[in-house]
Structures are given as structure tokens and as C-alpha cells.
Amino acid sequence: MRAFRNVDGAPFFVARAKGAKIWDVDGKEYIDYVGSWGPAILGHAPKVVVDAVREAATRGLSFGIPNPLEVEMAELICDWVPSIKKVRMVNSGTEATMSCIRLARAFTQRDKIIKFDGCYHGHVDGLLVKTGSGALTHGRPDSAGVPQAFADLTISLPFNDADRVRRVFAENKGEIAAVIVEPVPANAGLYLPSDDFLSIVRNECTANGALLIFDEVITGFRLARGGAQEIYGIKPDLTALGKVIGGGLPVGAFGGAAEIMDQLSPDGPVYQAGTLSGNPLAMAAGLAQLREIERINGWKLLEELGAQFEKLARNAITFAKTDVTFHRVGSMFCLFFAPGPIVDLAGARRSDLRTFARFFHPCLKSGIYFAPSQFETGFVSTAHTPDDLERTGAAVHEVLATL
């Protein structure tokens, strides 16, 4: 993705970033809709976060010993996300999903996992099966170096196909440890769950003694105070978090029901550890960001900005009379260069990648930076202004009209 290979170009290098803007090493300014792939929910280098990191750094960069900030973060997560009763800090979203899978297998004493095509859960061996994000962008949905035996324990199904979920549970009675899902898939573009899909998955897990794992590394604290599970009214057994809770620094977390989390060492037999887990700088940055979002009612602002961008984008699409499908939820969006409806990976892969590249480069030349891949999600931050969105809408309108 970052090499621009999918759009047949060369990447620029960033010199600095502030608010909704980034500047490359040549001094050119861009309005940024990547936001470090999601965590820059307040924009780049927000003062409240930078000040918190600076202050924390004066007290030490890493301890490898418990510190008060990780307790504050744990208490905040448990307060904001009702399904989480206990939480453990890790260093990345990959570590969070990996730990959830290990924990689910130990708790259920089963081995098989269900995931969904196009959902990316980090570079965990057993989850690099029909994945999204960079692997999909470069045409390699599976990774070399993953033993076939690992992949054999992972069953990948089309997203939004509830009948297939029911069928797989029936065909693998007593063998499924967990279902892991991005409640809003955001690594193959962005598509949304049907009205009853997540609730059916929840019911099937409950009926069959399997755990439901929500990967909210992207959606957690971005879509709502309680994440996507708050919006859709679903209570998972385990949740993986990351991105926003680090304020731009490396971080991850996972949590869930106490009886499940109690299986972790030192209380239980499931080993998990990390020297930098709960790092004081990451915790300080994340706490400052989350508290600022709550203080300014950031989710309301993000919805308003997202709605403004959607209106501008849809107007541009209508004027251009082109086959572009626009999806948005909150501050997350995607323009698919394919006719709708798009409800799963197969639909997303109908996209015309050459046309996307012809859209991407003129936008970039106009100072609008979208992700250099059709199969990524765009992000609006609280630092984007209505004028930024108007300028972006005008550029999209102009470019689409020429395709």
C-alpha cells in the first residue's frame, strides 16, 4: 500500500503533519484522509496529546513494571465498553487478535476458527486466510510462511452470509472455538453488516458454545464511545482494540468477560506477555486523546463532518454519472469504483482498479490524499474543517467528471 504499487506510482515522504494536513519533504501540502490508517481521530499532533506524551517522557520511556496510566486506561475501557470486564494491554492490533484467538481456544478447548473474507486481523499466521488490507492490495490474500496446518483450522466465509455461518456450525459441531469478525469490515474498502447479520452470528455462537470476537481495532472508540458494538447492540465475548487508544503510538488491548480473561497467566494457563505492554507514553497519549474526544463530544462532530463529506461525494458521483458506490459510517468512508450493492469481498473486488488509479493521482495532485488503494477505508478527523471538506468535494467532483 505505502509503496503506491497498486496505483502505479511512487510514494511521497512525509516531513511533518498537523491537524488535517500533512506536508511532504518537498513542502507540498495535502489534506489527509488516511490519518495514519485510523488512529489520528483528533488530527495529527493535537496539542493535548503532544503535551501528555512530553510530560510522560520526562518521567521515563519504559519501565517493564506496572504503572498507574495502564490502570487508568483499563478503567476507562471497561467503563466505556460494557462487554469488557477485564482488559490486558498489548503493543499492536495483531497481538490483540492473536491473544483473543489463543484465549478462545483455551477457554472452549476447541481449535477451529471462523473468519470472514476480506476481514484483516493483523499478520497472525492462522488468520492470513482470505484476508484484506495490504495482502489483498498486492494480490496475495494468503502469506508464504504459514503452515498449511494452521490455515486448515481457519474457515473463511463470505461476510453477510448468515446461512453459510449456520451451515458451517452444523457441519463442525463442537469444533468451533470462536468467530472473529470486524463488525464493520474496513480492510477491503468499507462495507456494512446487514440488519440482522451480526445478531445471527451472536446467536449461533451462543447456541454452539463458541466465543464471538469483535475486532474493533479500527472501529473501537472511532464510531462511538462504545465502538461498533454500541451502534449495533451486540455484546461480543472478547474485543480487540488498538489505533485510537494509543493516540498515534504503538498500542493494542483485548478484553472481555471476566471468566474468560481469568484464563490468562498468571491466574490461568494461557500465556501472554510483552515488555512494552502498557508503555507509559502510549497510555498517556491514548488517555489524552480519548478524554479529549469525550470532552468535545467528538462523535457528534465526526458524524456531522462525515455527513457533509458524504453529501459532497454523492453530489459529485451523481453529476459524473459514473459507476461509483459510496459507503460511509460515522467518520469512515470508501468510494468503490464498481456498481452496487457491495456487501462482501466479492462485491468489493468488482472494483475497477485502473479507474481508481486514474482518480487517485489527480486528487493527489490537487492536494487531496486518499489511501493509494481501492481496498482501504478513508477517515475524517475532528481537525477537518468544513472548508477542507468543501475543497475535497470540489476536487472529487472535478476528477470524477473527467473519468
Whether 235 contacts 229, CB under 8 Å: yes
- Euclidean distance between CA atoms 388 and 366, whole angstroms: 12
Residues 113 and 202 in one domain: yes
What CA–CA distance (Å, rounded) separates 305 from 330? 9
Same domain, 51 and 111: yes
Q: Which of 365, 384, 399, 335 is nearest to 12 (CA)?
A: 365
Q: Coil, strand or helix: which one is 340?
A: coil
Shared domain for 177 and 275, answered yes or no, is yes
Same domain, 259 and 148: yes
pLDDT in tens, 144-189: 777 777 778 899 999 999 999 999 999 999 999 999 999 999 999 9
Domain at 306, CATH number: 3.90.1150.10
Q: Among 267, 294, 321, identify where a domain stops.
A: 294
> Do 64 and 41 fall into the same domain?
no
Helix (H) or strand (E) holding 171: helix 162-171
Catalytic positions are 120, 215, 243
Instruction: With cut-offs at 50, 70 and 90, classify the pLDDT of residue 140.
Output: very low
109 and 158 assigned to the same domain:
yes
Whether 326 and 254 share a structural domain? no
Cα(28)–Cα(364) distance, integer angstroms: 10
Q: Quick one: 39 and 57 in the same domain? A: no
What phi and psi, each to the nearest 5 degrees, are found at residue 171? Answer: -80, -15
Least confident of 73-77, 237-241, 274-278: 274-278
Rounded Cα distance between 218 and 98, Å, is 16
Total domain count, the chain: 2
Residues 90 and 226 in one domain: yes
Domain boundary among 294, 313, 341: 294
Q: Alpha carbon 76 to chain centroid distance?
A: 20
In the listed set 294, 318, 349, which residue is the last one of a domain according to the structure?
Answer: 294
Residue in the block written with cell 471497561: 78
High-pLDDT (> 70) share of the chain, %: 95
57 and 106: one domain? yes
The confidence band for 90, taking pLDDT boundaries of 50, 70 and 90, is very high
Task: Please give the single-letter amino acid code of residue 355.
Answer: T
CB 322 within 8 A of CB 351: no
**pTM, rounded to two decimals:** 0.95
Residue 145 zone, left/alpha/beta (φ > 0; ψ -120 to 50; rest): left
Q: Give the structural domain span for 192.
A: 47-294
User: Are 200 and 174 members of one domain?
Assistant: yes
Question: What does the pLDDT look like over 117-138, one tens digit per residue?
Answer: 999 898 777 776 655 555 544 4
